[in-house]
Amino acid sequence: MKSTYDSEIFKKIFVTGSNSSFLNSEYSTLLSGRYLANDIFPFSLKELFANNGLTDYLNLIKERATALRIIDDCLEWGCFPEIKLQKNDEIKSKLLKSYFDSIIMKDCVSRYQIADIGTFKKLLLYSISNAGAIFSYKSLGVATGTNEHTAKKYINILNDSYIIQDISNFAFSLKENVRNNHKIYAADTGLMNAVSYRFFDNKGALFENFVFNELQKQNHEEITFATGSGECDFVMKNGFDYQAVQVCYELTPENSTREFAGFSNIEKDIKLSRKTIITYNQQQQAGDIEVVPVWKYFFEDRKKQGLSA
């Protein structure tokens, strides 16, 4: 590979893989200083809007019903390109399950020579079925009939395979004993519905996972969450800029106090440049807190969200 690159026969060489350990292997050593690493995600919401002719904000407002149908489809079937091309629901479901099985067997079990496949699958299914719930490696081990060390080992393997993402609670320190709380999100909402307990009936958890996936596609430096007197779903760091997001499918009189209060906990430690509650289709301004529908938030320009172009 190195000799091919150095020969300058090709202007660009694209090397793909489905596991992050590829970048920590001997290949990365051989290509040191010669490559740029990029994560490739399923379609973003903005890309799906563009594919459906929703390319400017005024058009998006006019065709809001279309935008919401696109979001509903993402919540149920996810954003993988091949799934979007399929019209048959049975084929979509089979494809998603085949993706799931392929990742488990090829990128996890085979690559890491996992002997206890039953416990490994049990931990994965439990994690996906409880996406967005706060846990520790110890509590996860207890819940899945194993120990803290094995739970952490398996979560790291799954995280490297990109089938899940494990995020920790916000702290300036990187020490594990400080960031001992975690949340797990599935790589795609379609996978959640295909392999876990029926998630589409739990719009709140599914919606939160979908928002996390979209935040990841914005390439923030770091995404964490905050705990304490009130939970804040996501804290995004970009340089010295911090923004916080609460996710609420539908804001109601019963849950609004909790959602708005979630920002006060994190502001004890840092100054937030933007505080946003992302909803399915509600919008309002409450002091310095924006309530923004998901279709609008992820259509906005990157500059407003603290990201480079």
Which structure tokens are listed for 292?
């923004």
Q: Please list the helix, strand and coil fractions of the chain in percent, rounded to the nearest 5, in that order.
A: 45, 15, 40
pLDDT at 285 over 70: yes
Higher per-residue confidence, 174 vs 263: 263
How many Cα neighbours within 13 Å face the side chain of 171?
15
pLDDT at 29 over 70: no
pLDDT at 209 over 70: yes
Cα dihedral angle (272, 293, 234, 119), rounded to 10 degrees?
180
The residue behind tokens 């979908």 is 210
Q: How far apart are CA 288 and CA 279, in angstroms?
A: 17
Q: What is the pLDDT of residue 230?
A: 76
Phi-psi region of 36 (alpha: psi -120 to 50; beta: other; left: phi over 0): beta
Percent of the chain at pLDDT > 70 equals: 81
What is the mean pLDDT of the segment spanning 238-256?
96
Q: What is the pLDDT of residue 119?
A: 95
Crossing angle of helices 64-77 and 203-216, rounded to 10°: 100
Q: How far apart are CA 137 and CA 139, in angstroms?
A: 6
Which structure tokens are listed for 42?
């399923």
| Alpha helices by DSSP H, 144-241 | 148-160, 189-195, 203-216
Crossing angle of helices 117-129 and 148-160, rounded to 10°: 70
Banded pLDDT at 306 (limits 50, 70, 90): low
Report the chain's mean pLDDT, rounded to a whole number.
Answer: 87
Banded pLDDT at 304 (limits 50, 70, 90): low
Q: What is the pLDDT of residue 87?
A: 92
Q: Where are the domains of the chain?
A: 1-38, 45-297
| Alpha helices by DSSP H, 24-133 | 26-30, 45-51, 57-62, 64-77, 81-85, 89-102, 111-112, 117-129
pLDDT in tens, 90-102: 999 999 999 999 9
Q: What is the pLDDT of residue 309?
A: 47
Q: How far apart are CA 232 and CA 266, in angstroms?
A: 7
**Are the C-beta atoms of residues 236 and 245 closer than 8 Å to each other?**
yes
Banded pLDDT at 48 (limits 50, 70, 90): very high
Q: How far apart are CA 301 and CA 86, in angstroms?
A: 30
pLDDT in tens, 120-142: 999 999 999 999 999 999 999 99
